[in-house]
Amino acid sequence: MFMGKVVGSLWATRKVENTSGVKFLIIQPYNLNKEPNTDTIVAADTLGAGEGELVMVAYGRAARVAVGNEDMSIEAAVIGIIDEYTVDKEAYNGDLDIEKVAFKK
């Protein structure tokens, strides 16, 4: 599971039947400094996340379980829209920017 920012939507007029009616978003994974990496992924969204929102994304079987269909042809799914997070500065052993240890909508 990772967090990322919704950077766009994806529409496909032709796709496999078991993804019919599913909304897809383009997500840019974030590190804890809230800096994007250069990759983007496509994730199914059943929660109604919007562009610019910070989201939690599950991968693989966990994504399919989250959308309620383990046979669906997806690899990633939005499983939460992040309202707030904090990081314990003393417990974290990375190069976290002290100004970005918390996020609140």
**Tens-place pLDDT, residues 29-52:** 987 666 666 789 999 999 999 999
Structure tokens at 21: 């009616």
Total structural domains within the chain: 1
CATH number, domain containing residue 98: 2.40.50.220
Contact 76, 58 (CB under 8 A): yes
12-33: per-residue pLDDT in tens? 989 999 998 899 999 999 876 6
CA proximity to 27, closest of 37, 19, 14: 37
Residue 100 has pLDDT above 80, yes or no: no
